[in-house]
Structure 1
């Protein structure tokens, strides 16, 4: 059983913040095993992530005491206690490669999460992954006319499960502004293009028409602006003039699942911080 916890915070930069936080943890019996920080010279914002062992320290005492410090410095912060597995809802349409990859990484312990539901606008027999097991599966069909009702069903699942994160693992429906607002800061999407290029539908076909020599994928937070949320992770694959749109789609699947897994893992480990329209991502 792990004894490691994580403190993540952001606030306006000011002298002494690293010493303040590290000193507080040490004085309360915590043994810091990893500490990363970044002060953005443009925005003036400060970001810090610390991993530490409790060493028998009083969890509630540390949380309550740090809250006073956080309030004094207007910090946005989280304190994750040992062995907490964040609750995650996965959403998917017909393409299940990203879904299967996330489930596999969870099963082998690479990503620490508890998938509490899988939601799709297609029935389960459309998918081929064998890793769903006994995870609750919700089939919520959607049309233009039923979109508000369908999204209300999704909201109910998210609320009832207490989900910490919703992942659009190739869920091929555009969320309404209301839904995007409901999931603000806790919804990650994988877009099969290296944003900001080739937004919207069929980006591989768009890339083919432009004769690109690299295709990519982008994982980002969902906002009301389609495919314009803060970017968490990106990657590319080299391609050539010989490859058809279908071959680009096939090659892109590997990039998509790899990028989405990296983004989800970073978010769940409290390594991602919002910095305006950008993100600060501390590497593992």
Structure 2
């Protein structure tokens, strides 16, 4: 049964839960999930509310403008999503295949409700995986001199394939501000428990530092390298017996899990970004 979900953020004030819930109730809706959080440090109210469309009195195309009449005097920003609209994903990779394969397997097992029509890579090594899964593969090599030209090709492909979300599954390139200004729905997996060891070779630096815990972080991509809003993180213990290869092996397991969790949360419309933080209504 299809559902609608509203993600709402607005300045905190009395009666917000009642006003939003009443909008759904007054139009014959049956709420099946509701969650909210107030960030007292910034005085911001955040909520996720989901209801059944069966029996709801408003046609889909009317829901957003109708709720806008309520949201405007509250100073609210909001987004509306429907459960039967299947997002289209593009996965970007370089040479490592573990996150790519994990996402493809999960999508085939219907753990991720999405279509994956496109894989883009700056190397050719993973083309065979795309062929195995019958997904279009585009090789777009990038150098400092060709970055602007090649990013224009990538943007054109995202438009051609009608892509809703890009997943950087170990794509070892930095997206430019110009690219992100035109397409900003991007999730990255970083092989470190951010903010520790941002940038390149975090496992080597973690080993040199003698850490006892390593982690992985999935976050939205912004113009600031590895500093976008964090969606999901996890850690695993390591010891003095582990060398860099052990850290990388353990880290890859974490990367798969953390990235798939983050993508699932995004697809289920459970992540609300505010500033450089997120509220994750899991």
Tell me the TM-score normalised to structure 1 length.
Answer: 0.93
Q: Secondary structure at the match of 2:33?
A: strand
Shift of 1:88: 1.3
Structure 1 Cα separation of the partners of residues 157 and 10 of structure 2: 33
Q: 1:82 to 1:215 in 2, by over 3 A?
A: closer
Any idea what the Cα deviations from partners look like across 1:53-109, whole Å, max 9, x if unmatched? 112323233333112212332322222123111121111110111111111111111
Check whether the contact 1:106–1:113 (CA below 8 A) recurs between aligned residues: yes
Shift of 1:138: 1.0
Give 1:259's aligned residue: 258
Give 1:187's aligned residue: 186
Alignment of structure 1 residues 16-95 onto 2, 5 Å: 16-57=15-56, 58-95=59-96
Q: 1:73 to 1:116 in 2, by over 3 A?
A: farther
Shift of 1:189: 0.6
Structure 1: 5+ residue runs without aligned partners? none
1:106 paired to 2:107: yes
Shift of 1:222: 0.8
Structure 1 Cα separation of the partners of residues 130 and 176 of structure 2: 31
Structure 1 Cα separation of the partners of residues 183 and 26 of structure 2: 37
Structure 1 Cα separation of the partners of residues 128 and 195 of structure 2: 31
Give 1:175's aligned residue: 175
Shift of 1:233: 0.8
Structure 2 Cα separation of the partners of residues 131 and 247 of structure 1: 31
Structure 2: 5+ residue runs without aligned partners? none
Q: Secondary structure at the match of 1:111?
A: coil
Check whether the contact 1:103–1:131 (CA below 8 A) recurs between aligned residues: no
Give 2:150's aligned residue: 150
Shift of 1:40: 0.8
Give 1:4's aligned residue: 3
Q: 1:132 to 1:278 in 2, by over 3 A?
A: farther
Tell me the TM-score normalised to structure 2 length.
Answer: 0.94
Shift of 1:47: 0.9
Give 2:275's aligned residue: 276
What is the RMSD of the two structures over their aligned residues, measured on CA atoms?
1.7
Check whether the contact 1:100–1:131 (CA below 8 A) recurs between aligned residues: no
Query: For this pair of structures, how many residues does the alignment match?
Result: 280
Alignment of structure 1 residues 124-143 onto 2, 5 Å: 125-126=125-126, 129=129, 133-143=133-143
Give 2:159's aligned residue: 159
Give 2:242's aligned residue: 243
Shift of 1:38: 0.8
Structure 2 Cα separation of the partners of residues 131 and 104 of structure 1: 14
Check whether the contact 2:271–2:280 (CA below 8 A) recurs between aligned residues: yes
Q: Secondary structure at the match of 1:256?
A: helix
Deviates more, 1:255-264 or 1:7-16: 7-16
Check whether the contact 2:130–2:137 (CA below 8 A) recurs between aligned residues: no
Any idea what the Cα deviations from partners look like across 1:211-262, whole Å, max 9, x if unmatched? 1111110111111111111111110111111111112111111100111111
Q: 1:260 to 1:131 in 2, by over 3 A?
A: farther
Structure 1 Cα separation of the partners of residues 170 and 51 of structure 2: 35
Alignment of structure 1 residues 192-207 onto 2, 5 Å: 192-207=191-206
Shift of 1:50: 1.1
